Amino acid sequence: MPVQEEHKDIVKKAIGASATAGVPGFLFPIADTVGMATIWTPMIVAMAKRSGHKLDENLVLKVVGSALLGASAYAVASWGASKLVAVALTLTPPGRILIVLLDGVNCA
């Protein structure tokens, strides 16, 4: 959905803030989630005010809370999936060789 002309400056500010927050978020996934919440909240409030919609604190907290919950579920599922793949690889000889090679690369 394209951004309405009247909201482009708000979105541009949020994009700039996101780019700045992206570096720690790349290194630490939970930092990305916290950064996203702190960027989205003022953006949502500013867009609602400008468009004349009434926005209460509870609604904003629900939106941000939902985003945090979704990101947390993603982080936990990703961690679990990576562990599952590692275990599955150890069950086959080619997988064991791959793990030894990757472990050697990580130690170098």
Closest CA to 32 of 45, 19, 42: 19
Residue 30: band (very low, low, confident or very high) from pLDDT cuts 50, 70, 90: low
Domain boundaries, the chain: 5-107
In this prediction, residue 17 carries a pLDDT of: 75
Q: What is the pLDDT of residue 74?
A: 78
pLDDT tens per residue, range 76-103: 887 888 788 888 888 888 888 887 887 7
H helices within the chain, ranges in order? 8-27, 29-50, 57-90, 93-107
Mean pLDDT score across all residues of the chain: 77
- Amino acid at residue number 34: V
- pLDDT higher than threshold 60 for residue 106: no
